[in-house]
Amino acid sequence: MTTLLDPFFGPYGGMYVPQILMPALKQLEKAFVDAQNDAEFQAEFTALLKEYAGRPTALTRCRNLTKGTKTKLYLKREDLLHGGAHKTNQVLGQVLLAKRMGKNEIIAETGAGQHGVATALACALMDMKCKVYMGAKDVERQSPNVFRMKLMGAEVIPVHSGSSTLKDACNEALRDWSASYEKAHYLLGTAAGPHPFPTIVREFQRMIGEETKAQIQQVEGRLPDAVYRRTRRTLDWC
């Protein structure tokens, strides 16, 4: 199928979903491309990141951790962002995009709850209905985040099928979206899933790298020798 953007990252990617979701993905891709070229949308997104989320976030040098070595270690402090994690960045972008598309409801999934909290934040800010699917086991384990989501008006839906964890929550969220995509937007929480979601998440998170690059050159006068990034369960070297 012809797409406006490259749907692959090397050998990975594509749009392997039920045929019923193809119109929704095509609509989303076109809306995203249009928004990327719309100065007004970009200005509104940038303003939200600055005035609501609290960007730019600090670059903190860990002097005590590297004491006695020649290493200089810096942390990009996404934990200082409103909502407590980097999730807020791309969630603001996607909810803004959903409003541009005329949607009035957001569907999301969450495991530990951070993406759910960020989604609830953005939906409360932009007056959007919010439904968050969460594995029943995760609902029990992450009760503080469940409380925060509900406090901000989100409907948290426990999923009891399968292993009652994140993958089952994703399945239920997609089922919901397949039946309601004309009014709802599925807000995927990471650079995964069918095209154009990985590209959308990447672009709505790119300010982290851009800020870090500018900040490290300001304090060190050069780029770092190595960059390490934390993913859900691993520490990767870039």
DSSP 135-186: EHHHHHHTHHHHHHHHHTT-EEEEE-STTSSHHHHHHHHHHHHHHHTTTEEE
pLDDT at 191: 84
* Cα–Cα distance, 140 to 159 (Å, whole number): 11
* Cα–Cα distance, 38 to 174 (Å, whole number): 29
Sheet holding 184-186, edge to edge: 155-159, 129-135, 105-110, 184-186
- Reported as a single tens digit per residue, the pLDDT across 68-115 is 999 999 999 999 999 999 999 999 999 999 999 999 999 999 999 999
Q: Which fold has domain 25-54+86-206?
A: Rossmann fold (3.40.50)
pLDDT at 233: 46
Which position has the higher pLDDT, 193 or 39?
39
Range of weakest confidence among 11-15, 23-27, 58-62, 209-213: 11-15
Contacts of 5 (CB under 8 A, 6+ apart): 29, 33, 195, 196, 199
pLDDT at 10: 85
- Reported as a single tens digit per residue, the pLDDT across 170-226 is 999 989 998 999 999 999 988 888 999 999 999 999 999 999 999 999 999 999 999
* Boundaries of every domain in the chain: 25-54+86-206
The whole-number average pLDDT for the span 36-55 is 98
pLDDT at 212: 98
Residue 62 has pLDDT above 60, yes or no: yes
The strand pairing partners of 237, in sequence order, are 228
pLDDT at 100: 96
* Cα–Cα distance, 191 to 203 (Å, whole number): 10
* Cα–Cα distance, 191 to 70 (Å, whole number): 35
pLDDT bracket for residue 232 (50, 70, 90): low
- Residues assigned a catalytic role: 62, 86
Backbone angles phi, psi at 142, to 5 degrees: -115, 45
* Cα–Cα distance, 17 to 195 (Å, whole number): 10
Contacts of 163 (CB under 8 A, 6+ apart): 135, 137
pLDDT at 231: 65
The whole-number average pLDDT for the span 223-231 is 88
- Reported as a single tens digit per residue, the pLDDT across 124-173 is 999 999 999 999 999 999 999 999 999 999 999 999 999 999 989 999 99
pLDDT bracket for residue 230 (50, 70, 90): confident
Residue 234 has pLDDT above 50, yes or no: no
Q: Are 104 and 135 in contact (CB under 8 A)?
A: no
* Cα–Cα distance, 238 to 226 (Å, whole number): 7
